[in-house]
Structure 1
Amino acid sequence: MTRTPRMTALIGAAILAPPLLAAATVAPAHAAQTAPRAAVVAPAPSAEVAATKSVSIKVQKQQRDYWCAPAAGRALLSRLISSGLPSQSKLAGYMGTKSSGTSNPGFRNGLRKALSTYGSGQYDVVALRPGSQSAFLTNVKAGVGSKKVALAYRVLFGYKPWGSQVNNKTGHLMVVRGYTTGSGTKILWWDPWDNTYHTASLAKSWASVKKGGRYGTVAAKS
């Protein structure tokens, strides 16, 4: 799928801020000093203050075992459609959802159909394929922090970023609705399976996305 220039920031490489350089304190030179001066002690660097950035989404538990995509899509659309959200049943039809699930192209096509029917204005629906943990975080920051939208990522049902891991390789779509910054970056998730919110470390979140095939989707105003 051709990527539009407007969404380049969502898939680009991470931009690393230059390191902060502490200015050295230099005492003025003198030919002679009558008394020794107290040593200048630089203050200890303060730890990075954690902050949370998140978006509010309208959530609804998936109404059938294989309707995680319609439920997740509805949550994404709630950031772009102010009222009259389509039902999960309607979205399942748009997405071509079957008892075996929803394909990645079908999910995106369904979002486009819903936005053209229920939304107003121009939208971009973009496939995300982050190749690294840092690229995944860049996607999340660009979506949540810049575009103020949520993102959907595919994981394996038995390999979610929280709880015990089980041998269930069924594909499952979940929503990223925010992230925290600080010494331990975390990702904020919503799971349509049981309509629950979760927070997981960046490392575990990326491990789940990677195991699920690195498939993501974001929709935003053009």
Structure 2
Amino acid sequence: MTQTPRIAALIGAAVLAPPLLGVVAAPAHAAPAHPVISTAPAPPASVLATKKVSIKVQKQQRSYWCAPAAGRALLSRLISSGLPSQSKIAGYMGTKSSGTTGAGLRNGLRKALSTYGSGQYDVVALRPGSQNAFLTNIKAGVGSKKVALIYRVYFGYKPWGGQVNDKTGHFMVVRGYTTGSSPKVLWWDPWDNTYHTASLAKSWASVKKAGRHGHVASKA
């Protein structure tokens, strides 16, 4: 199956009424009464939450094995035991010294899931056309399906740190996001086995620059 998961719309927080001020008048010939102030409860502070999944990670074992390493991390959400090696996944994906194609990545995931997993799975290619669609895919994967996603960036244009003119394709894993008006994306980079958090805008810019290629696998 190749249908991209949907995600329900977020429900906005209710707006509380402003505080009310009321003064009780003093009776005739009586000493002035102190004002009685009645206030509505203060609106709760906006609470940001982090939605993420745990993945089993392993630094890529060859310079061109970012896809097998990222695929292995993604598979760790779906295969409870007997996780295949990077070498085995690289074989399934048809990975060569020039790298891994998107079709090879998907075929490799399907082969690994049919060999090591149990049940039926969807392995879907993602091509978000906007930043909002990119975030929706992440929310549907991490928040609803409880799985990780793989996105392609250029090696020299990662969402964090300085950028260099290196347009080598590089697959990395999205493992979570933060809520709120300025959401962030949680990444894992198989190149050096490191975790990173980057703004949604910078994350989308990196994905868009590399052609908007993503992948996700989940239980059908």
Q: TM-score, normalised by structure 2?
A: 0.87
| Aligned equivalent of 1:54 | 52
- Counterpart-to-counterpart distance in 1, 2:84 and 2:117: 10
**What residue in structure 2 maps to residue 108 of structure 1?**
106
CA separation in 2, counterparts of 1:132 and 1:204?
13
Q: CA deviation at 1:25?
A: 7.8
Whole-Å Cα distance in 2 between the matches of residues 112 and 103 of structure 1? 14
Structure 2 equivalent of residue 8 of structure 1: 5
Unaligned stretches of 5+ residues in structure 2: 28-32
Give CA deviations for 1:50-84 in whole Å, capped at 9, x if unaligned: 11111110000001111000000000000000111
1:17 aligns with 2:11: yes
Q: Which amino acid aligns with 1:62?
A: Q
Counterpart CA distance in 2 for 1:20 and 1:185 is 20
- Would the aligned equivalents of 1:184 and 1:201 in 2 still touch at CA under 8 Å? yes
Amino acid at match of 1:170: T
Q: Provide the rounded CA distance (Å) in 2 between the counterparts of 1:133 and 1:46.
A: 29
**Residue 209 (structure 2) pairs with residue 211 (structure 1):** yes
Aligned mates of 2:97, 2:75 — CA distance in 1:
23
Give the stretch that moved more between structures: 183-192 or 57-66.
183-192
Report the aligned-residue RMSD.
Answer: 2.4
1:183, distance to aligned residue in structure 2 (A) = 4.0
Letter in 2 for 1:8: P
Query: In percent, how many aligned pairs have the same letter?
Result: 76
User: 2:5 touches 2:140 (CA, 8 Å); kept in 1?
Assistant: no
Corresponding residue to 1:144 among 138, 142, 145:
142
- What is the distance in 2 between the residues matched to 1:132 and 1:20? 28
How many Å separate the matches in 2 of 1:164 and 1:121?
43
Q: Distance in 2 between matches of 1:200 and 1:89?
A: 30
> Secondary structure in 2 aligned to 1:130?
coil
Task: Report the number of matched residues.
Answer: 214
Q: Deviations over 1:148-199 (max 9, x none)?
A: 1000000000000101000100000000011111243111100000000011
Q: Given residue 9 of structure 2, which amino acid in structure 1 is its aligned partner? A: I
Q: Structure 1 residue 40: deviation in Å?
A: 5.8
Equivalent residue for 1:163? 161
- Kindly provide the CA deviation profile for residues 14-46 of structure 1, in whole angstroms up to 9, marking residues without a partner as x: 73535634457889xxxx997997676656644
Q: Where do 5+ consecutive residues of structure 1 fail to align? A: none
Query: Secondary structure at 1:198's aligned position in 2?
Result: strand
Q: What is the one-letter code of the residue matched to 1:186?
A: K
